[in-house]
Structure 1
């Protein structure tokens, strides 16, 4: 199998119709492609069998997670160079390399079959979520999806997220640390919610308790945090006890749909609504509306995708669905605002912090790479590779405006329409000290 890289490059260019933008190193040690470019390492012919069996993103993801594909050089540059050939081809990417299409594709596919070696393809890596059946976003299915992503070890998350243990977009100033930026984000949320001593705050999707602790410690709020992750809840309770805040914070393993002890003065939902899904989003909005007192505020911090020209053609990302956030779904920000208002809320402010998330993700990737050996030991090589790929690719998606993230502040109006909002609504832009 001498010169496998040269043969692979030629076949890839025949399939794609354009030069391969990275250098390729094959399992036989041969290399081909532009000098000085990042190197796509094909460690094993099994990677080709995965691609032939499952053309497009999922086949590539399986080969990456299994360690059969790797990148040498700048990961971000490599992903950037390959994006136009892979992830940005949309739904047609599956057809582009399907062996039953036009004669050119069939010819290249036969060449890949010769390189790929004996069939059948290997089974998917263990980290892949098995195919799910039944209705989306039932309580049981949501709990299983959350467990897949979050119950992988709190020690692993500490390596990636750092001491703040905040798993959502930070709020940056030039030269600040990740911990400073996460503290500033939590404080921004508290100021937008106008929290004050004794206010009841419901933190939906409370994670490891960082928002709850900040609101209780800095603003004197009485906080109820709910999560579906048992590992998150145990970690949060331990932190809260160590901080001496158990009289102000209650952490529950509970679905937001089962919270019945309203009304609350304010609700924070930070990085949770992406798990709700379009089929349940109105139910989510209705539930939070019912839990707020009139005049109460909801801060909804949520990733958004760009609208499709034909929304019926929207496809969930196969890699993210199979390996990262099962059943997760992004919606355009306009649809989110409209649904919240349909539930009865009044939208008062929408702030895009897209660039902030790119900075946050790059810091998380740096943390993971710095502690790579420990991360692999704590989870598995496959899980660590999943995280590295999804966070790096997500950082680029935010940088290139493929996806965004927004803080949406809404209020439940009082009788007669009063909102209790200040005339200069963006008073939270000033720091708490000011």
Structure 2
């Protein structure tokens, strides 16, 4: 390990316990976080192996140590917000320059979001168990950021999100809507019931397809298991909610040209996606390994460069802080349901899910993460678009 001396600062106290290495103590000090401190956001160390894992594996080691019970924290969302606000995650990544270089080369040489790999995230995440998502999400099964402008609870926030999407798309009775990455069918069901449109949805998750078909069985809704590159047809409106994060930068041009091919000249396209405050070519290694394999979060620059000459951007709406509140609501629901869920999942899964939801909440609270809704159309589109808030 050429960049970090993993033995630096590691020495035994007289009572036999291993002191944390000074390099980690100094890092945490930037965020006013301590090992074994008395604040809710301090890290309580249960196993000294935590230190070596962080020093040798970075954020991946930090997350895996939590899954293995090596540390605990009473306010993990606050902890992650503090760490990310001062950029400690990026500093740790900087220790592993050689590994990062290898990862960047791999991302440039290989297309990890090719058609042959597109279904991996469905199999490894979205198919983990509908019982998990039914317990965690609201009744619409919306697995994306709610819109909390006027909402007092998760159910209302998701209802308001679905409605503002439909209003931004200016849906009219009888229109055909394409939903790329339709999930468990929340938006398709809502649009068909409230806006009298017919909907075609696609997903890469078999579990999502089965439940979405059941939920929409009496509506003019079709749910297909396929990759976006395989879609044919012509649609009045196109929407994609929480799916662009799986497209990958190599495929951005293909993605937007595909939507352009499917969208009628006077149509509208709404893209709802998580965004990064600055461009990064790789995903956090723990999230990539355990939650969203082959993921890639876009920056504003990457989107605008890919959209040029394909679409006009008519509206760009950012409500990233709403994702923090959404994630904490999901955590409350999941934790409340755990006594029943634990019959089918072990404690390591519980800690993995806890780490996932709290680290993501901290990601948005620190403003590293954004949530964007873009409305786009072709230059041939007539009329003036009026934004909706």
Report the TM range for the smaller structure's normalisation: 0.7 to 0.9
Q: 1:325: which partner in 2?
A: 292
Q: Over alpha carbons, which structure has the higher Rg?
A: 1
Q: 2:76: which partner in 1?
A: 75
Structure 1 residues 373 and 140 mapped into 2: Cα distance closer, same or farther (>3 Å)?
A: farther
How far off is 1:44 after superposition? 3.5
- Tell me if 1:259 matches 2:226: no
Distance 1:151 1:384 in 2: 17
Distance 1:346 1:151 in 2: 35
Residue 56 of structure 1 aligns to a residue in which SS? helix
Q: 2:312: which partner in 1?
A: 346
Q: 1:282: which partner in 2?
A: 253
Q: 2:44: which partner in 1?
A: 41
How far off is 1:339 after superposition? 1.2
Q: 1:171: which partner in 2?
A: 147
Q: 1:249: which partner in 2?
A: 221
- Tell me if 1:17 matches 2:19: no
Distance 1:368 1:402 in 2: 25
Alignment deviations for residues 65-91 of structure 1 (CA, whole Å, 9 cap, x no partner): 2233222x2222333444448424253
Alignment deviations for residues 16-65 of structure 1 (CA, whole Å, 9 cap, x no partner): 436755454xxxxxxxx44345453333455455345x331111111112
Structure 1 residues 18 and 332 mapped into 2: Cα distance closer, same or farther (>3 Å)?
A: closer
Residue 280 of structure 1 aligns to a residue in which SS? helix
Structure 1 residues 287 and 170 mapped into 2: Cα distance closer, same or farther (>3 Å)?
A: same
Contact 1:354–1:404, Cα closer than 8 Å, also in 2:
yes
Contact 1:341–1:347, Cα closer than 8 Å, also in 2:
no
Write the mapping of 1:180-259 to structure 2, written as runs, cut at 5 A: 180-241=156-217, 244-245=218-219, 248-259=220-231
Contact 1:225–1:251, Cα closer than 8 Å, also in 2:
yes
Distance 1:85 1:406 in 2: 22
Distance 1:348 1:227 in 2: 27
Alignment deviations for residues 255-308 of structure 1 (CA, whole Å, 9 cap, x no partner): 111111x11000010010010000111101111110011111110001111225
Structure 1 residues 37 and 176 mapped into 2: Cα distance closer, same or farther (>3 Å)?
A: closer
Distance 2:72 2:23 in 1: 22
How far off is 1:174 after superposition? 4.3
Contact 2:151–2:157, Cα closer than 8 Å, also in 1:
no
Distance 2:12 2:346 in 1: 33
Residue 296 of structure 2 aligns to a residue in which SS? coil
How far off is 1:350 after superposition? 0.7
Contact 1:165–1:208, Cα closer than 8 Å, also in 2:
yes
Residue 58 of structure 1 aligns to a residue in which SS? helix
Distance 2:163 2:16 in 1: 55
Q: 1:389: which partner in 2?
A: 355
